[in-house]
Structure 1
Amino acid sequence: MSNRNGKIKLLEEKANDEKRISKEISKLANSIRSDAVRSILQVIVLDTKRHEKFYKTASSLLDPSRKMIKPSELAKIQSSLEHRVQEEVKNLEEVKKIANEEQNPKVKAILEAIIEDEMRHHKIFQTLKEVIIRGEIIEEQDIWEGLWIKGAWITE
């Protein structure tokens, strides 16, 4: 499909599909009594919502009328990101300590999954902060290189 508008429409449809799916899975999760099964379904809901956002982002990158960050927003974002980076470091240290001491393999596996997420979050916040600290208006190229190409969203 080479037509830009057709691609935008398809990506928007995929985003709507993900939104619908997340609502359906969320409804199912809320009807289940088992904490373990409900939690797994809720994590899938979060991933599905993330996919919805990714589809919307891909769609907006194809839209020539898209909006980017204004210079007036940079200081606010920079301050918030600095706080988040510090918070992620603290959370990561605390969870690592708990995981290292945990004997229950199921709990340990959950904590290790959290550690992986926290490490990814830290990487994303740090990279975004570095882009913002340069004091530039963020352009798609900065975001693309800093977050997508460097693999901050890739989970291995």
Structure 2
Amino acid sequence: MSEKLVKSLGKSIELENKNASDLESGVKGLKSEVIRTILGSIAFDSRKHAEMYKGILNILTNVSPAISEEDFEKLRVIVQTHIKLEEEMIKELETYMGELKDPRVENIFRYILDDEYKHHRMLVNILEIIVKREVIKESEIWDMLWKEVPFHGTPGG
């Protein structure tokens, strides 16, 4: 891995955190609850992206420890529980969208619903990895995690 990539990822972490801080401080005085909430959500996503960049750096620069049988079982329970919760949230959001035809909130519901679908697909893919419990290459894990996620984190997704 190149030093240039490490530096670039470090800059991306800084940029995402700065964006989040600027948005958080910028919305404090706004009176519009909707605008504060939406921009606050974007700030939260920027912090999430910074953490993901940190994870990428860790993956690229460190060796991952093996997962024990005990950890596999713990992960299986956690992931199965969260799959059920995501399914419940998806049903609730679909109900809200069916009942409420207010264009001011419909796009917000759709945005949240898209996130819930992505979370659900990601959790199902993780569960598939856990259940297999095979020795697989890290590149295969990443393919399984992202194969069904539209846009793969790019704009629009």
- Give 2:127's aligned amino acid: K
Judge conservation of contact 2:122–2:149 (CA < 8 Å) in 1: no
Aligned to 1:132: 130
Cα distance in 1 for residues equivalent to 2:111 and 2:33? 17
Structure 2 match to 1:46: 44
Distance 1:76 1:137 in 2: 18
Matches within 5 A, 1:74-89: 74-89=72-87
1:16 aligns with 2:23: no
C-alpha distance in 2 between matches for 1:68 and 1:41? 37
Deviation at 1:140, TM superposition (A): 2.2
Report the TM-score, using the length of structure 2 for normalisation.
0.83
Structure 1 runs not aligned, ≥5 long: none
CA contact (8 A) 1:132 1:138 kept: no
Aligned residue pairs: how many?
153
1:31 matches 2:29: yes
8 Å contact from structure 1 (residues 70, 137) kept in 2: no
Find 1:113's aligned residue among 86, 111, 122. 111
Question: For residue 67 of structure 1, what is the aligned residue in structure 2?
Answer: 64
Q: Distance in 1 between matches of 2:29 and 2:134?
A: 48
SS in 2 for 1:31: coil
Identity %: 22
Structure 2: stretches of 5+ with no match in the other structure: none
TM-score (norm 1): 0.84
Question: In the TM superposition, what whole-angstrom CA distance separates every residue of 1:19-78 from its partner, at most 9, and x where no partner exists?
Answer: 122112111122322111111211211221232123223322321x23345224211111
